[in-house]
Amino acid sequence: MISNTLPYYPNSAKINSKNHLEIGDYDLVELVERFGSPLYVLDEQTIRETAREYKKALADFYPNSLPIFATKALCLQAVFAIMAQEGFGLDVVSAGELYTAQSIQFPADQVFLHGNNKSKEELQMACEYRNNEGGAKTIIDNFHEIKLLAEIGKPIDALIRITPGVECHTHDYIKTGHLDSKFGFDLEQLDSAIELIQSAKNINLIGLHSHIGSQIFEITPYQDAARIVLEQYVRIKEKYGIEFTHLNLGGGFGIHYTESDDPPNIREVIKQIATTVKSLLSEFNLKEPTLILEPGRSMVGRAGVTVYSVGSTKQVPEGRLYVAVDGGMADNPRPITYQAKYQACLVNRVLVDEESVCTVAGRYCESGDILLKDINLPSDIKQGDLLAVFSTGAYNYSMSSNYNRVGKPMMVLVSNGEAEIVLRRESMEDLIRNDVLPSRLIDISESAKNQISQKSWKEKVH
């Protein structure tokens, strides 16, 4: 049941006089009638207001800063365009994400290329992506990348990613800041990396990068990481005479998926990080670097809602009630991958008198395709009802697949009663677009098709 006190639905969500859920002043029942289901719905108001929260907090507590959107959370041209309008940069991790930025002429000097195994082609793209203000930057993750950049020979600004040894209370698969990580340099490798970069000549080293995890609810780990990183700034300044101009403390800020989640608000996170950094700069007698933060999930997660149509139901004798919907693990792999939990309600009748416990199952051919386990939904839920799952803006589309050869859903951006397609629904033709049928398999005559009769097939089998 939705109410004005629930923290996991978009800023514009409300219940209209028909007892329907609205987002962006658009009735979601009418939205599905127009565009079909499953349907990713993205609330533009939530994205913009969240961006402005970050910008305002940074302006108040650390003006020399640049928030950059972690595009792996949701890589779409429309989202990138909103980020540009709101004064954000981009954190990209592949040639595809970088190309998406280039395709809308996103300011090159605001783009940072990440990744633990960048190809030479990806690094070349970053080196060549430039505008009047400067070029794209890269986060160096290993010695191999330094050698590749040296071979390319083109000038590029770079930061070194380090593992500061800070652990967060998050899922094991998404911890990235501890010492045993595939990402970045351990501190004892840092000097060797710096010296190799200096020998490369074309790499302009501007700072260090640290990222400690994802869906983080605590502020202390960021403060601990800031101290560890800035201690390296002091040491590097003394040993190499380099005073870094940029400090990247990563992202990973958590959001509400359920009422039990308890992330700190954006302003408090920024205030505490900024206050800590300023205090350490004063303590260490360092010049103020540009502070870079990389929110991703917190920028778009709560802006997204996925709407499904209810199909079959199954009551296990003396057991669970299963409610099946027309999507599942292919459009939202997080429950089966991370055991992620979500909240939901019926779109077409939000407020109801009686609820019962049920489990929402996906349509895919996997026993583990369960979207919502043991959730309260209307007791008389039936075929044709529409189910909205909240906080699906981050990583759902990004991690989606065509499992069972099912097309990915459409995504619409809603605002002020208007809905615009920002991602087309995949068609049957899209599903076979990249298939290649060898020529020797094309010319199959009718006689060849039918030459194996049922009898001869049985004989062949036996």
- For the CA atoms of 106, 112, 118, 124, what is the dihedral angle to 10 degrees? 60
Q: How far is CA 415 from CA 46, 87, 251, 303, 331, in A?
A: 10, 20, 27, 11, 23
Beta bridge partners of 247: 208, 291
pLDDT digits (tens, 9 = 90+) for 146-185: 999 999 999 999 999 999 888 776 655 455 555 678 888 9
Beta bridge partners of 14: 22
The whole-number pLDDT of residue 458 equals 47
Chain-centre distance for alpha carbon 94: 13
For residue 374, what are the contacts with CB-CB under 8 A and spacing of at least 6? 357, 358, 359
Mean pLDDT by 10 residues, the chain (462 residues): 70 96 98 98 98 98 98 98 98 98 98 97 97 96 97 98 81 56 90 97 97 91 95 97 97 94 95 98 98 98 98 93 97 96 97 94 97 95 97 98 98 98 98 92 63 49 42
Percent of the chain past pLDDT 90, that is, above it, reads 87
Query: What is the number of other CB atoms lying within 10 angstroms of the CB of residue 354?
Result: 8
The whole-number pLDDT of residue 440 equals 83
For residue 314, what are the contacts with CB-CB under 8 A and spacing of at least 6? 321, 322, 324
The whole-number pLDDT of residue 177 equals 54
Of the candidates 75, 127, 345, 365, the residue annotated as catalytic is: 365
The whole-number pLDDT of residue 457 equals 42
The whole-number pLDDT of residue 102 equals 98
Rounded CA-CA distance 273/220 in Å is 9
75 is catalytic: no
pTM of the model: 0.92
| List of domains in the chain | 14-43+302-431 (2.40.37.10), 44-299 (3.20.20.10)
**Closest CA relative to residue 308, chosen from 234, 224, 377:** 377
Rounded CA-CA distance 135/124 in Å is 12
Beta bridge partners of 185: 162
pLDDT digits (tens, 9 = 90+) for 310-327: 999 999 998 899 999 999
- Expressed in percent and rounded to 5, the helix, strand and coil fractions of the chain are 35, 25, 40
- How would you classify residue 161: left for phi > 0, otherwise alpha for psi between -120 and 50, otherwise beta? beta
